[in-house]
Amino acid sequence: SAQQTKVLQHGAHRVGKRTDAEMATWRGYGLGQFIHWGVYSLFGGELNGNYYNGAAEWIRSWKDMPHGVYDSAYKQFNPASFNATQWAKMAKQMGVRYVTFTTKHHDGFCLWPSKYTDYTIANSPYKKDIVKQVVDAYSKEGIDVYLYFSVMDWHNPDWRYDLKTKEDSAAFERFKLFTKNQLTELLQQYPQTKGLWFDGTWDNSWKKSGAFTDTLEQYLKTLHPGLIIGSRFRADEFGNRHVDANGVLMGDYEQGWERKIPKTYADVHGNDWDCVMTIPENGWGYQKKWLGHWKSTNEILEMTAQCVSLGGNFVLNFGPRADGTFRPEEVTIAKEAGDWMKINSAAIYNCEYTGWEKQDWGYYTKKTGENKVYMIVFNVPVSGSLKIKPAKNTLVDKAYLLTAPGKNLSLEKLDYGASFIHVSSTGYKQPFVIVLETKEGS
Ligand code: JFZ
């Protein structure tokens, strides 16, 4: 190609997707859960009756928030109703297959008893290790655990946004060691961890540390073979993030799909990816008042279907209250999504992109390694006629509702390899799934 390829010491070390079993498991998850929980949950976006209009987990950075107030609030963090087993059971019922849990957000408060700082759960009135309880409870339910970790740390005096002076560089050397120590500690204390979800890696200080970030990533993977780390961790030696100076993804999957979903398969550039999504428009930690639109269960199911149809996973965020309970809106969505998943998860788990031309009724997914394509139908046209057009060299053998196997739907052949499947044109309250068994041929 005409594109100049630079020789990079700290660029991507692999072109294309990982091919190992751990990554194949990740790719097949379909649906995940994100949890943001920490000191910010105590405020819920509010201070003295005034509401912060940014994301609730950022409230420490609000001009109205005295740092002294925020930084001593952990002395009130005592989640009397926290029950990790209940959390994990709710997630299991929802049908999620992985969870990403905030071990340390930007405020620097550690939900595990890190020995590298005093600002941890061990020094709260609650005292007990929360990360351990979450890791154990979810693992027991068969849900894979990923640890969210913010590199940016507002509590550590050695954190720097940029490295402008010798003193900055000296402080940041200490900070890098602190970060390496904490990550090592997490992987050693919670060996069931499947991967790390990094955040707060966008500042110049980190971008100027490309060599360190690369070495650290390789070290973590040596400590923990199979570990999965997305593209939001490191930088190359020119300070490029996500993709290196040659446009190649650095990381095991693309981590840039935050609160947005690709429109077409071309948009994902052949990479693994997942989309992390909030139920309100924005805000990850608990917010007492949800302003603006809240997504409905059907909207969430549609996003899940859309992501899986384009080869990604969909991850829905929950922001528990400081006492350890979930707000009713989140409980309802988890319950309703789970009820749907119970019937329809075949079209979500271990499914991939089909390569078939997208149709207006909804989304295709394909069972990896099988001759089975699913139609997840959201929009039935007034005619009741659903058009399908298989990829080249593929024929549809039979079609049936996922809920009625053995009761074949008739396929009406059209020109140019297309067919119609006719269904009733009215009365749907939820998306439904049609299974297409396929074979080679034209
Ligand atoms: C970050 C955090 O600041 C936020 O609090 C939350 O934890 C979220 C999951 O991650 O926010 C971001 C990070 C990256 C982008 C946008 C918001 N981005 O790349 O567009």
Dist CA 383 CA 199 (whole Å):
48
Q: How close is the Cα of 199 to the center of ligand 1, in Å?
A: 7
Q: How close is the Cα of 119 to the center of ligand 1, in Å?
A: 22
pLDDT of residue 5: 86
For atom 5 of ligand 1, which residue has the closest CA? 57
Dist CA 175 CA 152 (whole Å):
10
The residue ranges of the chain whose pLDDT is under 50 are: 1-2
For atom 10 of ligand 1, which residue has the closest CA? 199
3-class SS letters over the chain: CCCCCCCCCCCCCCCCCCCCHHHHHHHHCCEEEEECCCCHHHHCCEECCEECCCCHHHHHHCCCCCHHHHHHHHHHCCCCCCCHHHHHHHHHHHCCCEEEEEEECCCCCECCCCCCCCCEHHHCCCCCCHHHHHHHHHHHCCCEEEEEEECCCCCCCCCCCCCCCHHHHHHHHHHHHHHHHHHHHHHHHCCCCCEEEEECCCCHHHHCCHHHHHHHHHHHHHHCCCCEECCCCCECCCCCECECCCCCECCCCECCCECCCCCCHHHHCCCCEEEEECCECCCCCCCCCCCCCECCHHHHHHHHHHHHHCCCEEEEEECCCCCCCCCHHHHHHHHHHHHHHHHHHHHCCCEECCCCCCCCCEEEEEECCCCEEEEEECCCCCCCEEEECCCCCEEEEEEEECCCCCCEECEEECHHHCEEEECCCCCCCCCEEEEEEEEECC
Residues lining ligand 1, CB < 6 A?
Answer: 55, 57-58, 199, 256, 258, 276, 284
Mutate to test the pocket of ligand 1, among 199, 274, 277 (most ligand atoms within 8 A of CB): 199
Fold annotation for 21-349:
TIM Barrel (3.20.20)
For atom 3 of ligand 1, which residue has the closest CA? 200
pLDDT of residue 1: 46
CATH superfamily of the 354-440 domain: Golgi alpha-mannosidase II (2.60.40.1180)
Q: How close is the Cα of 336 to the center of ligand 1, in Å?
A: 27
For atom 7 of ligand 1, which residue has the closest CA? 284
For atom 13 of ligand 1, which residue has the closest CA? 199
pLDDT of residue 442: 84
For atom 17 of ligand 1, which residue has the closest CA? 258
Tell me where in the chain the CATH 2.60.40.1180 domain(s) lie: 354-440
Q: How close is the Cα of 202 to the center of ligand 1, in Å?
A: 10
pLDDT of residue 198: 98
Tell me where in the chain the CATH 3.20.20.80 domain(s) lie: 21-349
